[in-house]
Structure 1
Amino acid sequence: MIQSNPDTRTAVRPSWGLLLVLCGAIFLEGIDVSMMGVALPSIRSELDMSTGSLQWVVSAYVLGYGGFMLLGGRAADLFGRRKMFLFWLAVFLVFSGLGGLATEGWMLIVARFVTGISAAFMTPAGLSIITTSFAEGPARNRALLVYAGTAAAGFSLGLVVGGILSEFSWRLVFFGPVLLSLVLLLSAIRLIPPVSRPERSGQGFDLPGAISVTGAMLLLVYGVVEAPNLGWSRTLIAIACSAALLGLFVAIERRSASPLVRLGIFATGSLVRANLGAMLFAGSFFGFQFVAVLYLQELRGWSSLETGLALLAVGADAVLAPTLTPKLVQRFGNLPVIVGGFCLAAAAYALFLPLGLDWTYAAMFPTMILTGLAFSLTYGPLTIAATEGIAEEEQGLASGLLNASFQFGAALGLAIVTAVNIAATGPDSSPQSLLDGYRAALIVPIAASVLGIVVISFGLRRRESAACSSSL
């Protein structure tokens, strides 16, 4: 049952009904992103968009999502999680529909940017509702693992559904989420308990901090996403400006009576390690997916639907996360499971290195299924580690930090993989040159996974040292 707390006055409602709605929202976010990637060729053809402008259909969403994530997480704490979730779910619904009605490329890009902003507010609000509704421990862990599995299922199924819908019209890729959003919104109004007063009444809103950190995140994500197009000099300028705004943000937060981000939260070692792990895992996964899709479509000539079906095995996480992972976490603990997930990810990507010009799917399948298993052992437990032990009034902030780490990691991984692939391929576009570029780019997700093992293992060693000290 839902816990009572000083911020909410609720009727007794089934926790799992509430979880179903929130899982539906993260499923919506996952399927929306993955369907979009499959629909891009059809969008370019009908709207007559250049390759550069087409990239912004994806980049605008990432920019809005990553740039406003911290603000979204803190807004959930300050203004009410339920209120933020419902409002921004409605915005998501409206602008997804507007994207489907777009007749010009710029209209679609603006719609995707606002949709990304709505996800930046909606996602941490939904995650923090889970972490404040379920008691810390086995109940919350299982809820978070179900949530993580649903996110992975949305992403994996979106590849297939997007391929099918695009065969009829790319606009269905936008209108499908509209229908799902409407069902979720009506269900959320009923199943998410209302509050009788603002969750954080009496606290001011740190507007200078909000402006400076959002500007810093926007510039950082922009610099990372656009690095292959901007060149080194302009990329460094964007990152330098981001760093300057971040420095201003830190100075503001130290003096603010009601800081947007309490800097002391970064003293929590598990939160910092979980966020670093999230960056590395997202970077490795999305970097690998990028290489795999290019290999299958650009070199092998597979269709969007065939590519989606090939990657469907990664969606095994949807089954494994709520069934296998809770048992492993209970038996071995959270951190060992995360380390195991990173080990499997490194092995999966390494197994893809010998890819050839005529590889069968049977040769690819071990990588796909191991990637799904790695996702199930890593994504959910990282979410647990990033929110465990955090005060209830900062759960939205912790959720926002985690989601920002996932988004930034994904953008950084894609940027580095793209740069390595272009450099290794060179001007020659022969099949062998393309293959050499893919192999070189695969080193990036392997290296990120190995670094993730090191980061999380450091926390494991510290925990074991603390346990030994307490027993003396």
Structure 2
Amino acid sequence: MTLSTTPRGTGSAPADGRWSPALRWLLLVLAGNMLIDALEVSVALVALPAIGADLGLAVSQLHWVVSGFAIGFGGLLLFGGRVVTLLGRRPVYLAALLVFCVASVVGALADSAALLVATRFVKGFCAALTAPTGIAIIASTFPEGPARGRALSVYSLFGASGFSAGLLLSGALTEVSWRWTFAAPAPVALLLFVAGLRLIPRDRPGPGKPHGCDAAGALSLTGAMLSLVYAIGSGPGAGWDHPRTVGAFALAALLAAVFVRVELTAGQPLLRLELFAHGALVRSALGAGALNGSYLGLLLVSTLHLQQRAGWSPLQTGLAFLPAAAPLALTALRSGRIVARFSPAPLIAAGALAAPLGYLLYPRDGSAAVHYATDVLPTMLLVGAAFVLAFTAFHIQATGAVPDGRQQAAGGLYQSAVQLGAALMTALCAALYPVGIDAALWLITAVGLFGLAVALVGFVPRKGAPSGAPASPDERKPHVE
């Protein structure tokens, strides 16, 4: 399926790369949606203590507010791409915006944890439908060259800014009620839906449409993730040897095996397992999953620590996290050029070193007084530096490691790993936090060090490669528009 490059109402960009007014409005709709998708994670983090107090959730259960969204996003991202291919970009994009709006309202009114988590999962699936589709619409609507390059940069800027905006929004609104943090995106999504009715280009049939959606693969992968996260959350309360916990782990393993079997035998699988033969792609997925997961695990632990033990307000907590989130937004427009100049592998290694150094500096004594300048700020600055250095480099390394025509599949695998790493780490940190803040922080540090080890593998010369040859294709400098 393809999109017309001159859809009704959008016009085209002049040869000098300028955007027409219609293209500016289209980009505003797509980037605005990317912003609220990114915002969804951070608004939940700062509000966790208030949600737990209001709904009577134990710390080991609070993670579902974050991991529910991450599983809906990461577990169904590949399936979402198939749905878009089958049904069309415009109708799926618009429907996802409308469902996102409704789920935001229902989540804000939820009086039970189950309903709140269900809405978070639904919103994650909506993000799985719209985030990659927005990039595809830009690629098909904006002419190749400066116009498209700047459009993708603005789209990335809004996504990077969404996390920072969510911290501020949640910090301010949770002071009134955590429910406002989940209601706030609803009118924005509705406005984007109304504008999208006019601006999102209509689909035009194209060749190569798949014959099925591989629902079995989607259900088994998502079910495996849900079962694994449930088992991790069940352990602290029921006991790690309780039949419910053991049974959930066993079900997760069974469903994972089913997923592999389905993907090996399906005519058009969601995930082609031969992608795992590309070492740079696998390292990018593992490294980015470790970085994103350890980061969100840190923010979960720090949120509980600062609000429940140190007595900080939600607004103070959100502001405290900004030095970790804001640098990526501030450098988003230049990140591609930075990677093109230095190549991905050295930047990834530097970022993978900065993150665990930051984790090591966070105070381990949860009962001691917290001094922001010496206890929290150094950690946040180092983590912010890690994301500036590594996150764009991870994505470029992942998509540049595969042959032409496989970049979309590689991007889907990479983004799924990023989200699933977040789901697992938030669940693990919530399970360990009641044992002691130090236990959770040592896990976060260990995962950060794992990411560093994965990054360093990229410098090991390939067997049989001549002396001085790059370890893998990811060390080639990419072209960035």
Answer with 6-15 or 332-341: which moved more.
6-15
How far did residue 318 of structure 1 move?
Answer: 3.9
> How does the TM-score come out when normalised to structure 2?
0.81
Tell me the amino acid that sits aligned with residue 116 of structure 1: G
Answer with 261-270 or 355-364: which moved more.
355-364
Equivalent position to 1:352, from 359, 362, 366: 362
Which residue is 2:211 aligned to? 203
Alpha-carbon RMSD across the aligned residues, in angstroms, is 3.6
Which residue is 2:118 aligned to? 110
Answer yes or no: is 1:377 the counterpart of 2:389.
yes
Which residue is 1:426 aligned to? none
Name structure 2 gaps, 5 residues minimum.
Answer: 7-11, 14-18, 471-481
Provide the C-alpha distance between the structure 1 equivalents of 2:407 and 2:453, rounded to a whole number of angstroms: 27
Contact kept, 8 Å, 1:67 with 1:218, in 2: the verdict is: no
How far did residue 332 of structure 1 move?
Answer: 0.9
Give the direction of change, closer, same or farther, for the CA distance of 1:460–1:68 in structure 2 (3 Å limit): same
Answer yes or no: is 1:34 the counterpart of 2:42.
yes
Structure 1: 4+ residue segments shifted above 6 A: 131-145
Q: How does 1:75-94 map to 2 (within 5 A)?
A: 75-94=83-102
Which residue is 2:372 aligned to? 361
Contact kept, 8 Å, 2:73 with 2:124, in 1: the verdict is: yes
Which residue is 1:434 aligned to? none
Provide the C-alpha distance between the structure 2 equivalents of 1:70 and 1:257, rounded to a whole number of angstroms: 15
Contact kept, 8 Å, 1:64 with 1:114, in 2: the verdict is: yes
Equivalent position to 1:154, from 153, 159, 162: 162
Answer yes or no: is 1:272 the counterpart of 2:282.
yes
How far did residue 158 of structure 1 move?
Answer: 1.5
Which residue is 1:240 aligned to? 250
Equivalent position to 2:341, from 319, 331, 336: 331
Contact kept, 8 Å, 1:153 with 1:317, in 2: the verdict is: no
Answer yes or no: is 1:7 the counterpart of 2:16.
no
Residue-by-residue CA offset, 1:335-365 (whole Å, 9 max, x unaligned)? 2111111111122222224778234222132
How far did residue 178 of structure 1 move?
Answer: 0.7
Give the direction of change, closer, same or farther, for the CA distance of 1:106–1:79 in structure 2 (3 Å limit): same
Residue-by-residue CA offset, 1:224-245 (whole Å, 9 max, x unaligned)? 4544445324444323322222
Provide the C-alpha distance between the structure 1 equivalents of 2:207 and 2:170, rounded to a whole number of angstroms: 39
Provide the C-alpha distance between the structure 2 equivalents of 1:452 and 1:141, rounded to a whole number of angstroms: 30
Give the direction of change, closer, same or farther, for the CA distance of 1:192–1:369 in structure 2 (3 Å limit): farther
Provide the C-alpha distance between the structure 1 equivalents of 2:338 and 2:249, rounded to a whole number of angstroms: 40
Provide the C-alpha distance between the structure 2 equivalents of 1:302 and 1:292, rounded to a whole number of angstroms: 11
How far did residue 420 of structure 1 move?
Answer: 4.1
Give the direction of change, closer, same or farther, for the CA distance of 1:200–1:394 in structure 2 (3 Å limit): farther
SS of 2:393 mapped into structure 1: helix
Give the direction of change, closer, same or farther, for the CA distance of 1:386–1:229 in structure 2 (3 Å limit): farther
Provide the C-alpha distance between the structure 1 equivalents of 2:163 and 2:439, rounded to a whole number of angstroms: 26
Name structure 1 gaps, 5 residues minimum.
Answer: 1-5, 424-436
Contact kept, 8 Å, 2:171 with 2:319, in 1: the verdict is: no
Answer with 145-154 or 342-351: which moved more.
145-154
Which residue is 1:399 aligned to? 411
Answer yes or no: is 1:181 the counterpart of 2:180.
no
Provide the C-alpha distance between the structure 1 equivalents of 2:24 and 2:222, rounded to a whole number of angstroms: 34
Give the direction of change, closer, same or farther, for the CA distance of 1:463–1:37 in structure 2 (3 Å limit): same
SS of 1:114 mapped into structure 2: helix
How far did residue 219 of structure 1 move?
Answer: 2.3
Provide the C-alpha distance between the structure 2 equivalents of 1:235 and 1:400, rounded to a whole number of angstroms: 30
Contact kept, 8 Å, 2:49 with 2:308, in 1: the verdict is: no
How far did residue 418 of structure 1 move?
Answer: 3.7
Give the direction of change, closer, same or farther, for the CA distance of 1:155–1:318 in structure 2 (3 Å limit): same
Give the direction of change, closer, same or farther, for the CA distance of 1:374–1:129 in structure 2 (3 Å limit): farther
Tell me the amino acid that sits aligned with residue 171 of structure 2: G
Provide the C-alpha distance between the structure 2 equivalents of 1:228 and 1:136, rounded to a whole number of angstroms: 53
Provide the C-alpha distance between the structure 1 equivalents of 2:100 and 2:403, rounded to a whole number of angstroms: 29
Which residue is 1:342 aligned to? 352
Give the direction of change, closer, same or farther, for the CA distance of 1:440–1:191 in structure 2 (3 Å limit): same
How far did residue 270 of structure 1 move?
Answer: 2.1
Provide the C-alpha distance between the structure 2 equivalents of 1:191 and 1:211, rounded to a whole number of angstroms: 33
Give the direction of change, closer, same or farther, for the CA distance of 1:349–1:56 in structure 2 (3 Å limit): closer
Answer yes or no: is 1:304 the counterpart of 2:314.
yes
Provide the C-alpha distance between the structure 1 equivalents of 2:112 and 2:245, rounded to a whole number of angstroms: 28
How far did residue 107 of structure 1 move?
Answer: 3.7
Residue-by-residue CA offset, 1:9-42 (whole Å, 9 max, x unaligned)? 2213547765544432232123223223333454
Contact kept, 8 Å, 1:57 with 1:109, in 2: the verdict is: yes
Provide the C-alpha distance between the structure 2 equivalents of 1:145 and 1:452, rounded to a whole number of angstroms: 27
How far did residue 414 of structure 1 move?
Answer: 2.5
Provide the C-alpha distance between the structure 2 equivalents of 1:118 and 1:66, rounded to a whole number of angstroms: 11
> How does the TM-score come out when normalised to structure 1?
0.82
Residue-by-residue CA offset, 1:57-82 (whole Å, 9 max, x unaligned)? 44543443343233223333444444
